[in-house]
Amino acid sequence: MSTIAIDDFLKLDIRIGRVVRAEAFPEARKPAYRLWIDFGPEVGVKRSSARITEHYTLESLKDRQVAGVVNLPPRRVGPFVSEVLTLGFADGEGRVVLMRADYDVPLGARLF
């Protein structure tokens, strides 16, 4: 494990958002969904490609609060441009479990 300075960590802008739209992403090489996440008035709605199909259905994602890094450069995933890195942890079998707050917090709230 390598270490970084706290100043480097603080450069990441990690915020809470709400999934306002979720679609299948059949063009992705690995099973994934296309997400539109509302990060509040300061950041707005951003798109994300997320490989979370094992634990989540499209219906279960609607209105769910999720955490994402909003200040990374956009990344093209096939025909889709992902603007946010949606955060999660691997379970014991390597499937992604989304990171989220225990309670609803204001959209756009920053991790600190």
| Residue 53 in tokens | 């199909």
CA–CA distance, 68 with 87 (Å, rounded to integer): 5
For residue 37, give the 3-state DSSP assignment: strand
Please tell me the total number of residues recorded for the chain in this structure: 112
pLDDT tens column, 27-50 = 999 999 999 999 999 999 999 999
Q: Which residues, in sequence order, are CB contacts of 102 under 8 Å at separation 6+?
A: none
The model carries a pTM of 0.94
The correct CATH number of 6-98 out of 3.30.420.130, 2.40.50.140, 3.90.850.10, 3.40.1390.10 is: 2.40.50.140
Show me where the domains of the chain are located: 6-98
pLDDT tens column, 74-104 = 999 999 999 999 999 999 999 999 998 999 9
